[in-house]
Chains A and B, each alone.
Chain A
Amino acid sequence: MADPLLQLRGLQKSFGGLRVTDGVSLDVVPGEIHAVIGPNGAGKTTLINEVTGRLALDAGQVLFGAEDITHLSMAARARRGLARSFQITSILPGFSVLENAALAVQARQGSSFRFFRPVAQDAALNIPALAALEAVGLRDRASLPAGALSHGEKRQLELAVALATAPKLMLLDEPLAGAGPEETARLIEILLRLKQDYAILLIEHDMQAVFALADRISVLVYGRLIATGSVAEIRADAEVRAAYLGEDAEA
C-alpha cells in the first residue's frame, strides 16, 4: 500500500465527562475512499471537526503527508490541501454559484490582498471555478444566487467548493444528507468520478452508498473504532452487525 496521505494517531477528545473521541487511529491512502460509519452520536462529525481543526484535540496526532498538522488552524489545513464539505449545507447564499467556487479558487491562488481589480471578471479565478462546477454538473447554474439552488444542487455545490480548493484529500461529512433518491444517485455518480482523482474520508449514513463507494470502512461506536476493513470484512463482522448494521446488512 502507498504511504498514507492522512494519519490519525490516538485521537482523544472529551466534552466534560463524555468521551466523544476515544483513541481513534486510522489512515487514508492516496486514491481510496475510506468511509467512517456509525450510529447517531458516535462522534463522526466530531472526528471530521478534529481533522479539519475546528475542534482542538485533548491528545493525539494528525499527520498530513509527513507533516504534523495537529496544531494548525482550520484555514492553514485547508491551504495544505485538506478540503471539507459540511453535513449541514454551508454555502454563501447571497453569492452566485460561480462566486462560491471562485472564492475557494482564490484561497489557494496567489494573494487576496489585491484591492483594485474587479474580482467578478477575474478569469484566473473563474476558469478553474467553472471547471469545478462542471465536475459536479452545476455549470449551467453558475450565475444563479446559491441560495436559489435546490437542496440536491446545494449538496453538489458543497462538493464543487471543496474541489475548487484543489485539495489532496477531501473530508466529506454526509454528502448525501437530505438528498432524495434521484439526487442521491446523481451524487453517488459524482463521488465515483471524484474518487479517481482524490483521496476521500467519507462519513455517510446511507449504507448502500457506502458499500458502493468505499474501499475501506471503519466503524465508530461511542467514540471508539470497533473495526476497520474492506467492505466484505465489515459486512461479515459479527461485532459490527451487533453494534450497528443490524438488519440493514441483510438488506
Chain B
Amino acid sequence: MRRDAPAIAVLLLLALAPFAGFGEGHELTLLARGMIFGIGAVSLALLVGGAGLASLGHAASLGFGAYAVVVLDAAGITSLAVVLPAAMLAAAGFSLATGAIAIRTSGVHFIMITLAFGQMAYFTAASLSAYGGDDGYTLYGRTEVWGSRLLENRLAFHYLCLGALAFAWGLCRLLLASRFGRVLRASRENELRVQAVGFSPYPYRLLAYVIAGALGGLAGLLLANSAEFIAPTYLSWQRSGELLFMVILGGLGGLHGAMIGALVFVGLEDWLPQLLGEHWRLVFGPLLILSVLFLRGGLAGLPATLGGLRRG
C-alpha cells in the first residue's frame, strides 16, 4: 500500500484545502478545475501509462460529457440521476465507436487518428447552432441532486469533485492491478509476447479506452457545472494536448502523477498571468519544455530525481 500513499496524501490535502486557506470563491473554483482536469488526466493516464495508448483526442470525451449536460439542460432535464449516466454513456459510446477503429492502429497512427476523431467532435459541436454553436451555451443552473440545488454550494461542489477524482483514481488503480490490467500493461511492454502466450490485446485495449472515455464524460459533466458554460473549445485538440501534457508533467510512473500534473498545470495557468501579465505564455511554454527535459519521472518522480542528484 506504500505505492498508494502519494495519491492518498494528495486527496487528503484536497479535502483539507477549503479549511486551510483555500476557502475563497476563486480558490475553490480553481481547485475544482484542477480536480476536474485531474479526473481527465487520470483516465488518460490509464491509457498512456497503463495501456501505452497516447490519445490526442481525450478532450472529446470530456466534451461529450459536457454537451450531454447541455442537451439535457435544453430539454429541461437537470437531475443528476439522469445527467450523470447520460454524460458517462455518451462519452463511453463515442470512445467505443472511435476506439474500435483507432485501436487497430498503433504509434503515430494512433495519435493521428484519435486527433482526427477529436477534431470531428469539435467541429460537430461548433456546428450545433441549437446549443450555441461556436459561441457556446450558458447553463442557467447547475445539475440538481434529488431536486435540490446542492451543487450551487461551492463547498458541496468541491467535495463532489473530490469524490469523483477519488473514484476515478481508485477505479483506474484497481483496474491496473487486476488480471485485466496485467494484460494491458504487458501489451504495452511487448505486444508480440502477449500474443504469443495467447492474448489478443485488442478487446482489452478497447475496453480500457471505453472506461477512460466514461471517466472523461464524468469530468465533462463536472466541467460544465463548474463553468456553467460550455463551448466547443473544450473539445479542441489543444485541450487534448493539455491533458496529455498534464499526464507527462506529473509523470507516468503512477496514476497520482496525473493528478499532481493536472493540479500544477491548472495552478500555473492561473498564477503565471497574475505574476507576468499578458505574456505569461512566454514563460509557461519553456517551463513545460524544461520540465520534460529535466524531470524524467515527472513531478511525481521528483523525489527520486533529487535523490539521484544528491548521490551524484
Contact = CB atoms under 8 A, between A and B. Distances in A.
Contact of A93 (B174, B182, B189): B189
A86 B196 contact: yes
B179 A78 contact: no
Interface stretch (B122-130, B152-160, B198-206): B198-206
Question: Is chain B's binding surface mostly helix, strand, loop or mixed?
Answer: helix
A interface bracket (residues with beta carbon within 8 Å of B)? 35 or more
Interface string B53-76: 000000000000000000000000
Contact of A90 (B182, B183, B193): B193
Contacts of B139: none
A54 B195 CA distance: 9
A75 B198 contact: yes
Contacts of B186: 92, 95, 103
Nearest to B180: A115
Name the residue in B182, B186, B190 with the highest tally of chain A Cβ atoms < 10 Å from its Cβ.
Answer: B182
B288 interface: no
Contacts of B195: 73-75, 78
A50 to B, nearest CB: 14
B interface bracket (residues with beta carbon within 8 Å of A)? 20 to 34
Nearest to A92: B189
Contact of B180 (A102, A107, A114): A114
Contacts of A54: 192
B196 A103 contact: no
B10 interface: no
Interface in B146-178: 174-175, 177-178
A119 interface: yes
Contacts of A165: 197-198
A150 interface: no
B28 interface: no
B217 interface: no
B257 interface: no
Contacts of B181: 115, 119
B183 A112 contact: yes
B194 interface: yes
B190 A118 contact: no
Interface string A84-127: 10100011111100010011101110011111111110100100
Nearest to B182: A119
Interface string A188-200: 0000000000000
B178 A115 contact: yes
A107 B192 CA distance: 14
B189 A120 contact: no
Interface of B: 174-175, 177-183, 185-186, 189-190, 192-200, 204, 207
13 contacts: A75-B198, A75-B199, A79-B198, A83-B196, A95-B186, A103-B194, A106-B179, A108-B198, A112-B204, A116-B175, A118-B177, A161-B193, A161-B197
